[in-house]
Amino acid sequence: MVFSGAAENEADYIEAQEYLANTPYFVVDKYIPHKPALSKAQDKGLSLIECSYVAPRKKADDVIQGIINQLEALTTAA
């Protein structure tokens, strides 16, 4: 599970992550914040990692890497 468009309130994100830790769902350790720069990139047909600002682009890239890491773990375990 990925939090996309999450508020910048870190405490809310941590609380949701702790709640989901008691479920069978995998939660990527990072989140994609709700940032106008990310929306503008998508409006232009760009991916989130093509955003013109470094910080939101880095957060999106971290989420993608978290997904890749989980997929690798699942395929290695199978």
Give SS3 for 51.
Answer: coil
Domain-by-domain residue ranges, the chain? 3-77
In tens, the pLDDT along 28-57 reads 888 888 889 999 999 999 999 999 999 999
The tokens for 22 are 């008691």
21 close to 36: Cβ distance less than 8 angstroms:
no
The pTM score is 0.78
pLDDT of residue 68: 94
pLDDT of residue 29: 83
5 close to 32: Cβ distance less than 8 angstroms:
yes
pLDDT of residue 58: 94
Rounded to an integer, the average pLDDT of 20-32 is: 89
